[in-house]
Amino acid sequence: MIRLFQDIIDSGAVVCASGHHTGTWFALNFLLGLDGFDRVVELRDMIDGKEEPDNNSIVHFHLTGETIHSRGQVECVGFEHAKELLAEVQSIVPLRDPMSSVISRNQRHPGMAHFFILDAFMFMDQLPERCFFLPVDLHQPARLYEMYSDYGMENRSYAARRDKLMEACVYLGETFNEHVHRYAFDWPSSNTRGEYALKVLYEKHQDLQGVRRFFPCEYDYLIQNGSRIIPFLKSKGYEYLPWFKECVL
């Protein structure tokens, strides 16, 4: 265990390990509303000596495949180190449809490569069973997300969302405060750009070829690796996503 991660273990902090654009701030804002947490410590700030975690803090970094990021790639620390850490601590890993994650980044950084977002999903099935996975879009209310109109309706009820957050509280040893119920009811969108053309094209019209025109290389990369990613997503409750039908399993 590298010293940096041993310090996290010794502090008693909870870890939020997220792929880029997978609902990081949804998860962090949920945790910060609980009684046991009062701040987020970015891993980069630990490395730079700016902050030290304690048992009331949440340490965050991004998963990007074989590497990890925290305001840029963390040198000399990789996925295998992260696995060792996550096997020893309580951790929250937000999940989201990977196509939606790429769409979000493309909206912010059009023309740039987005492969590292998909690489994160290709490694998530190797994370320790101890991790708590929080699907942020699977449980969105119908008024916010229409993609699941024919699938998993029971997952979008207030009761299902509340139960998922309560499950997270039990996992973390936290009490169910009013914040939990309010968060389940609102299921707020965090750090979002709102409605935009590409998002509507995918979520409302499910026009996959229209989506592909925006980032053909990443689209094909996701489809080609569907046999690796889809079983993991299905194990976390994603029974169907529009791009599943494009993949050969």
Average of per-residue pLDDT across 36-47: 96
- Written as one string, the DSSP assignment of 182-249 is HHHHH----S---S-HHHHHHHTT--HHHHHTT-HHHHHHHHHTHHHHHHHHHHTT----GGGGG---
Helix (H, G, I), strand (E, B) or coil at 108: helix
Q: What is the mean pLDDT of residues 73-97?
A: 95
Q: Give tens-digit pLDDT for 91-110.
A: 999 999 999 999 999 999 99
How far apart CA 16 and CA 11 sit, in angstroms, is: 15
Mean pLDDT of 155-164: 85
Helix axes 216-224, 226-235, angle to 10 degrees: 70
218 has pLDDT over 60: yes
Instruction: Identify the pLDDT of residue 28.
Output: 97
Residue 203: per-residue pLDDT: 87
pLDDT confidence bin for 24, thresholds 50/70/90: very high
Helices first, then strands: H and E counts in the chain? 12, 7
pTM of the model: 0.92
Q: What is the pLDDT of residue 120?
A: 97
- For the chain, which domains are there? 3-237 (3.40.50)
- Look at residue 147 and tell me whether its pLDDT is greater than 60: no
Average the pLDDT over 192-201 and give the result. 82
Tell the residue number behind the tokens 């309560």, with chain if given: 166
191: pLDDT confidence band, cut at 50, 70 and 90? low
Could you tell me which residue, 51 or 149, shows the higher pLDDT?
A: 51
What are 120-131's pLDDT values in tens digits?
A: 999 999 999 999
